[in-house]
Amino acid sequence: MTGKSSNRAPADGAGKDTNIIRGGRFGADPCELMQEINASVDFDKRLYVHDIAGSKAHCAMLVSQGIISEKDGEAILDGLNKILQEIGSGQFTFKRSLEDIHMNVEARLGELAGEAAGCLHTARSRNDQVATDFRLWVRDAIDGLDEGLKNLQSVLVDQASAHAGAVMPGFTHLQSAQPVTLGHHLLAYVEMFGRDRSRLKDCRRRLNECPLGAAALAGTSFPVDREMTARALGFDKPVANSMDAVSDRDFALEFLALAAILAVHLSRLAEEIVLWCSDLFAFARLPDTLSTGSSIMPQKRNPDAAELVRAKAGRVIGSLNALLVVMKGLPLAYGKDMQEDKEPVFDAADTLALSIAGMGAMLRDITFRPERMRQAAGHGHATATDLADWLVRALRVPFRRAHQITGRLVTRAEQKGCRLEDLSLDEMQQAEARINDGVFEVLGVENSVKSRQSYGGTAPDRVRSAAAEARKRFLE
């Protein structure tokens, strides 16, 4: 075809049905119940920016390939720009009778561009159109979440640097285990969120292939240039198989899977904040602006922001399960079942964005109580491992025997109601005669954390260097 050709439908059409989706095939409009089941514009209208971007790229390609005329292409692009402005300013009227964002845009385009609007859908189906829009939306959501996580990591690194030497109890089984530093504890979450960002990057790379041009499922007989539309929309390349292009939702499932893992990480950190802000722990205090009260108990300061972040993990995990169930039994290629793909993804992305912002605000404004944490770090004979290690290192005692000796000394300290470092040398020598004064150099929580000099350990100087290294890896 030449650049002057036109691909318009006959003006008279066939039948009385004027709905642009149903064409002349049906003798009656869908009933109210069918419209209620079928309509998706209430939620998929948020794809409007991506839908119009895809339509612009498709239109430019059709003109470039001589499939539609330049005049029709100009009318289409002018109309699309007008629609973009209308929706953005809230002046656009969405109609549920038109089912979705795609048909709402196309119907309005017909009002603005006349018959030229009918050329836009040449060599395109809603199947490849929605797959393209959805990938574009998820790609933007990934970029937004990555930026949010980067900001959260920045807050964590700042707090870790400020509290590199603040001793606190480290727990296993929520029982006092070994002393650590608050900075070391916070940097663990920096690493977790770093892996989340890596998963976001991987998902983005895999989804960045363009379905546009696959049409309904079999490709098209028009001489389209799929490479051109892919480049115009920032994709790396077109999807290689037309059936896969319209039926694939791996990118949405992968996004929800990484979203679920990220939500779990946020939930674990939120749980720590809830514990730390409790009266029994009293390791930290959230500001009034991020706390709530009780309707009956005047004294309460509830860490509800953290509790809600913790709870929202279930919501995101549910979104993953929902889409897995939708997709598990679908034959190729497209089924209307796949209309159910967007709400779980939209909700998960919105939920995570809010949770990440909330977590950043909490950690930015939280007040830690180092003295209280240090006091708690000495509970439960948390330096027992240091004593066992000293026996191995200084006296060459096999570790299993050192473990037994230390266990007897812990029992003795419990009987006396004192700490291990408060036992006398004579009492220690009753468990192992070769113990000498050097043992007291490793006992005590400060001595314990200072000794943990291994790579990734909790020694304050290690934490400071780890925070600096994390800042380079994740934030620069």
Amino acid at residue number 251: F
| Coil vs helix vs strand at 453 | coil
Q: Do the beta carbons of residue 190 and residue 150 sit within 8 Å?
A: no
> What gap in Å lies between CA 381 and CA 412, rounded to an integer?
11
Long-range contacts of 305-308 (CB under 8 A, 24+ apart): 305/358, 305/361, 305/362, 306/270, 306/271, 306/273, 306/274, 306/277, 306/362, 307/270, 307/274, 308/358
DSSP-assigned letter for residue 11: S
Question: Of these residues, 89, 173, 295, 424, which one is catalytic?
Answer: 173
> What gap in Å lies between CA 460 and CA 446, rounded to an integer?
10
Tokens at 469, concatenated: 């290294």
Q: Specify whether 121 is catalytic.
A: no
Residue-wise DSSP of 229-269:
HHHHTT-SEE-S-HHHHHH--HHHHHHHHHHHHHHHHHHHH
Q: What phi and psi values does residue 396 have, to the nearest 5 degrees?
A: 60, 35
From residue 90, give the alpha-carbon distance in Å to each of 45, 73, 81, 87.
12, 26, 14, 5
> What gap in Å lies between CA 258 and CA 319, rounded to an integer?
12
DSSP-assigned letter for residue 16: S
Q: Specify whether 102 is catalytic.
A: no
Question: Of these residues, 198, 278, 294, 465, which one is catalytic?
Answer: 294
From residue 436, give the alpha-carbon distance in Å to each of 396, 433, 443.
13, 8, 13
Residues annotated as part of the active site: 173, 294
